[in-house]
Amino acid sequence: SVADQPVPILHFRKASAGLRRRKRDWVIPVISVSENIRGPFPLKVSQIRSNEDEVKIYYSVTGPGADQDPVGLFTMDRDSGILYLTQPLDREQKSVYKFLAHAVADGGGTGEEPMEINVKVIDQNDNRPVFSQDTYLGEVAESSAKGLEVIKVVATDADEENSDNSDIVYRIIDQEPKLPADQIVNAGGLDREKYPKYTLVVQASDMRGEGLNEETKVILTVTDSNDNAPIFTQPLSVADQPVPILHFRKASAGLRRRKRDWVIPVISVSENIRGPFPLKVSQIRSNEDKVKKIYYSITGPGADQDPVGLFTMDRDSGILYLTQPLDREQKSVYKFLAHAVADGGGTGEEPMEINVKVIDQNDNRPVFSQDTYLGEVAESSAKGLEVIKVVATDADEENSDNSDIVYRIIDQEPKLPADQMFEINPNNGFIRVNAGGLDREKYPKYTLVVQASDMRGEGLNEETKVILTVTDSNDNAPIFTQPLVSTTSL
């Protein structure tokens, strides 16, 4: 299961001597949590903290998901300010949770004014495409020219709009009859007298054709007229949506002159995000820009170090941009230092550490350790005997649904004396004998096709072959080739 790892933070250290008594006002990025996260629960997702060390501060959170329906989905520790998630989230039910976080002094004294918290639910590819119809009926004239559009199929995906998870690609995977050509809709030669009807199986796959899929039937009747030409639409591109922020307002009157020190959550960006680029992912800002000009910059791997230019920062606004898609399998976290320097070389903020976490997407298929596995099984083997183990790995995030592999046997040859002579443990890949009747003399070899699928068996898959040779057991009586001779002693 997923471990409760420490929450990365954005934390500005103490300001330089010339700024310590001035209030700092920072734009804080959104809290991001992946849907379907498996815990263990309660799972720490963020923390708020006031630096008011002169009085005891108590923390709480209110709003839908906290003290309103769905009540208790998020809770906050009143002493530490840690925000916990108590169960898995479903982005298709709710994509953003908005709370108010409260910091109140012990005894009813003044504390911080409420802070708005936005928790964004990061989409995972957990929904298959769904066709608008189980079967589509259409007509095509036998005189139709190559390239004529005759019918449109439509599939939708409940995953996040304008993302790879809902980016659907269509393909024809079967056609009956396959005459006069096996891609008749793309060729000429329609003949109503010979082939009056075609049945197509159309597949819709998300992740640009590499993800989850669903199928539908299209039945086309060949006619002698051309009166139907729908138009296919093209997939939409990803739009650059506004970045949600966490922003503490001014402190109450009793605290306005005191420094506030807040723990800020990690910046999260999904891998394979399609832009358009440059894509705004966060922003930093010093309140010192009200009294002097402040310039912003960023340093570290991914900025001014390899891979150079992956992230850039606008020197005037402090907006952090991503310039191209990320790959979590290459690098899962980017750590930078953000700088805020006053114009003319004056004092500014001390550098702030920024952590950008790359959110995993299910973009890697399982990979078997061998293309073909060879093994032996004795013909006298009892049911339940383990004979061989297959192993597949997945490059996606460890201990997540994206790398959670399930094994199954999808074919067996020969299918005698039973079509399930062997079974496989879906979790560890051990293949064992499932039925009696192994007989080397009749069936000396079995070929199994084993499939490994991620997303607990509902995601991307790969196949391998397992060839099992049945070995001999001494279960046949000797046969004499010559007649027995009886002798009698006199």
Q: Give Cα 149 to chain centroid, integer Å.
A: 34
Nearest to 443 by CA among 407, 408, 479, 468: 468
Helices and strands in the chain, H and E counts = 0, 33
Contact 366, 392 (CB under 8 A): yes
DSSP annotation of 472 reads P
State residue 346's pLDDT score: 63
Residues 413, 466: Cα–Cα separation, whole Å: 11
Please write the tens of the pLDDT for every residue from 420-473: 999 999 999 999 999 999 999 999 999 999 999 999 999 999 999 999 999 987
User: Between the CA atoms of 248, 4, 68 and 269, what dihedral angle is there, to the nearest 10 degrees?
Assistant: 60
Contact 101, 115 (CB under 8 A): yes
Q: Domains plus CATH for the chain?
A: 130-223 (2.60.40.60), 270-363 (2.60.40.60), 367-471 (2.60.40.60)
Angle at 32 between CA 27 and CA 36, to 5 degrees: 170
- Mean pLDDT, residues 237-256 taken together: 34
37 pLDDT higher than 80: yes
State residue 115's pLDDT score: 82
Other beta carbons less than 10 A from residue 218's beta carbon:
22
Residues 314, 303: Cα–Cα separation, whole Å: 12
Angle at 59 between CA 53 and CA 62, to 5 degrees: 155
**What is the pLDDT of the chain when averaged over all its residues?**
81
Q: What's the chain's Rg over C-alpha atoms?
A: 32
Please write the tens of the pLDDT for every residue from 301-335: 999 999 999 999 999 988 999 999 999 999 999 99
Contact 190, 140 (CB under 8 A): yes
Amino acid at 5: Q
Strand partners of residue 199: 176, 219
